[in-house]
Amino acid sequence: MCYAIPGKVEKIEDGTVVVDYFGEKRKAHNELAEISVGDYIYAQGGLVVNKISSAEAQSILAVWKETFFQLQEVDLKLSRLNLGNQDADQKLLEVLDKASQSQKLSTEELLYLLDLKDKKKVELLFKTANFLRQKYFKNSCCVHGIIEISNYCRRSCQYCGIASYNQELKRYRMTKDEILQAAKEAIQIHGFKSLVLQSGEDCGYSIDELADIIKQIKEKTPALILISFGEIGIEGLEKLYQAGARGLLLRFESSNPVLYKKIHPGMDLTSRLDHLRKAYEMGYLILTGGLVGLPGQSKEDILNDIFLSKEQHAQMFSFGPFIPHPHTPLAKEDPVAAQEIIKVLAVARIIDNTHAKILVTTALETLNQEALRGGLLAGANSLMLNVTPLDYRMLYSIYPDRAHQSEGSIEQIESTVALLRSLGRAPTDLEAF
């Protein structure tokens, strides 16, 4: 099972390759020395991951060829937009018409969209975002695997079930061999081309140990490696980049400094943004975003979260719902409705038409089983499948009853592929050319 389609290199120019996918041209950044015109490669997150033999590529492409065009047709059909034919109020139609033409919306117009309540109006917002997603990203959808290597954390974020204050939780830390084995299975058996390694801010691994793990994964099994270990310091980021990590998943959760401090005791928004900025300068792909539905959060805060993600050069937006965990100080707060998050994804797509991929988080799926489909039909084009060994998965309890927490990797993959096919999405993963 593969989560990317091999493409043929048509042109190489200053570290960038132009790749052909059944006639569609995409660009990717290349760091591999051995790539020549005519080679077949896999790419993820806009980076060339590895080269494969022409014979292997031809056999995969033969299987995909017919399917690829069928999927495109399904996607085109599902993303058609006809605002002229809609029975909706004039203001909404005018704002969405502007958005569909990629015109910049004012803050007032964006807040108006975030505030929509009426089901039909919200549906029209989702359709417009899906139209924009199709226009600029076509039917590509990236599928990352994620391995949660440890649930130890030194922080005490007020919403998080694995925060240090939660004494009820059984803690685990995967050994190096367990991590290498899980990565090998994800990449070699399940076909992931992109893998996120995640943990709490765990002082149990040294940066050198993490670097060694990343290096060994890269040597044995080529893949795009993204890290999500919290604030590991600028030197830590540099070392892990040298070891081969190329993406950083680090959400700032709230762009409002007062709210940030309230939910992150002892932490400071400036330090988090500094990590993101320096990581971007080093060459990391940035995956960031916020928590939606936090107590005391306003619609303006949420809009600023989207703006801040864009300012941080996010290559992928990650916005997840606040879900109260019973062993946190926010246990008695209300969770946010799935539709509110999907609205945020749709508005994010309107704000960033062309650059950022948008993730449907597992947390959103936890709120509502249909949310993955809903998010993908409202501008999102990325998802992550949890490939943490089942013995540990239940213990990474950042919020309760997580979706897929007891589901094997194969089941998850099969249901995801079936969903992607029903929506006409193909697992290509390159910058739109």
Residues that bind ligand SF4 (CB under 6 A): 153, 155, 157, 160, 162-163, 200-201, 230, 398
For ligand SF4, the closer of residues 155 and 176 by Cβ is 155
Kindly give, in sequence order, each residue whose CB lies less than 8 Å from that of residue 202, ignoring residues fewer than 6 positions away: 150, 152, 153, 154, 173, 229
DSSP 378: T
Taking the complex as a whole, how short is the minimal distance between the CB of residue 385 and ligand SF4, in angstroms?
Answer: 20
Contact of 281 with 323, CB cutoff 8 Å: no
Q: How far is the CB of 377 from ligand SF4 (least distance, A)?
A: 29
3-state class (DSSP) for residue 427:
coil
Please state the closest distance from residue 144 (CB atom) to ligand SF4, in A. 18
Closest separation in Å from C-beta 158 to ligand SF4: 9
Q: Measured from the CB atom, is 157 or 240 closer to ligand SF4?
A: 157
**Nearest distance from C-beta of residue 387 to ligand SF4, angstroms:** 19
Helix (H, G, I), strand (E, B) or coil at 13: strand
Q: Smallest gap, in angstroms, from Cβ of residue 137 to ligand SF4?
A: 29
Nearer to ligand SF4, 230 or 324 (CB): 230
Task: State in angstroms the smallest separation of the CB of 275 from ligand SF4.
Answer: 12
Q: 408-430 in b/e burial notation, b at 16+ Cβ within 10 A? A: ebeebbeebeeebeebbbbbbbb
Question: Which residue number, 43 or 157, has a Cβ lying nearer to ligand SF4?
Answer: 157
- 234 within 8 A of 275, measured Cβ to Cβ: yes
Instruction: Give the shortest CB-201-to-ligand SF4 separation in angstroms.
Output: 5
CA distance 414 to 285: 28
Q: How far is CA 287 from CA 247, 274, 315, 364, 426, in A?
A: 7, 14, 6, 17, 21
The C-alpha atoms of residue 136 and residue 98 are separated, in whole angstroms, by: 16
Contact 287, 314 (CB under 8 A): yes
Alpha carbon distance, N-terminus to C-terminus of the chain? 26
- In the bound state with ligand SF4, the residue whose beta carbon lies nearer, of 290 and 427, is 290
Are 317 and 351 spatial neighbours (Cβ–Cβ below 8 Å)?
A: no
Nearer to ligand SF4, 296 or 408 (CB): 296
Minimum distance, C-beta of residue 163 to ligand SF4, in the bound complex (Å) = 4
82-110 burial: b if 16+ Cβ within 10 Å, else e: ebeebeeeeebbebbebbbeeeebeeebb
The amino acid that residue 52 corresponds to is I
> Nearer Cβ to ligand SF4, position 325 or 357?
325
In this complex, which beta carbon is closest to ligand SF4, that of residue 217 or of residue 398?
Answer: 398
CA neighbor of 423 nearest in space, from 76, 2, 3? 76
Nearer residue to ligand SF4 within complex by CB, 44 or 166: 166
